A = this chain, B = another copy of it.
Amino acid sequence: MVQAKYDVLGIGNAIFDVLVRTDEDFLVRHGMTKGGMALIDEARALAIYGDMGPAVEMSGGSAANTIVGIAGLGARAAFIGKVKDDQIGRLYSHDIKAAHVTFATPPAADGPATGCSYILVTPDGERTMNTYLGAAQELTPGDIDPAEIAASSIVYLEGYLWDPKNAKDAFLKASTIAHDARRQVALTLSDAFCVDRYRGEFLDLMRKGAVDLIFANEAELCSLYQISDFDAALTQLRNDVALGVVTRSEKGCVVAVKDGVVSVPAFPIGKLVDTTGAGDLFAAGFLFGLVRGAGHENAGRLGALAAAEVIQHIGARPQVSLKELAKQNGLPV
């Protein structure tokens, strides 16, 4: 196995976030399911945005947020995802490159605009996402460079890739190349509703060994196995994948392997402002720990630390140096 060029390469929907603080009524009025990610078309995007208050914009996208976090901890990271060559797409490309992430996916020259997620943040800090995929729909297997995949220690994929029409094939291509190169493949289940859409396919990926590591939160895990008992779901997960990492909000996380489980507490926070990116940044810290050989417990601590940073402000990208933050907290970077 040749020396890796990247510690982690992520593949995901490139999505620009439009964030606004709102009250619970807004969600009710627009028939939104709080805490979820709903796919919307352009007409609904206009209806929601037209009713939203003044917003703040920043780059997002689940796997992209994770990759930015990994780069912020000091690892070598790359991202594959599709924007359009439009104003928002150029902002997006700037931000991810400026975060020291290699991003070489050519933007779409025509077709739908760069994807956007309209994110409502309620006073309790919960976020409810409404995603217009836009140009993210245009990601195809042709955007997967075999040499780049084979040169990445871990390939990290988001479950949301099952939504655009060709991204799943890009995902499967990347997974095969990675395994042929004896690399690891990680998947986040992304969202409980996403799991509900693709449960059979996700389970199949796990059981046939197309993925080695699963990230999930409690709701996603329970949705995957369609049971409400967390421990029973965890037992099933341990049978289905080599390494499973389940986040439990303020209860911390559980790292599960065939032989047993390790629990890691959440990192204490001052005030919960916005949960957007919590799972993404947890995955960033954990994957960073993993590639640096920190052990599962320290990897969980790094995940908890990165998640704690991102939920104390609006938006899913870190506002401080995660590397400095980890150092200040005595974690290995």
Contact = CB atoms under 8 A, between A and B. Distances in A.
A143 interface: no
Interface string A70-99: 000000000000000011100100111011
Main secondary structure of the interface of A (DSSP, over half): mixed
A21 B55 CA distance: 19
A315 interface: yes
B54 A98 contact: yes
Contact of A58 (B55, B91, B95, B96): B55
Given A21-B319, A319-B21, A53 B98 contact: yes
A55 B88 contact: no
B56 A57 contact: yes
A14 to B, nearest CB: 14
A52 B52 CA distance: 29
B87 A53 contact: no
B56 A58 contact: yes
Contacts of A56: 56-58, 315
Contacts of A86: 87
A113 interface: yes
Interface string A20-63: 01000000000000000000000000000110111111110000
Contacts of A113: 87
A68 to B, nearest CB: 7
Interface of A: 18, 21, 49-50, 52-59, 68, 86-88, 91, 94-96, 98-99, 113, 315, 317, 319
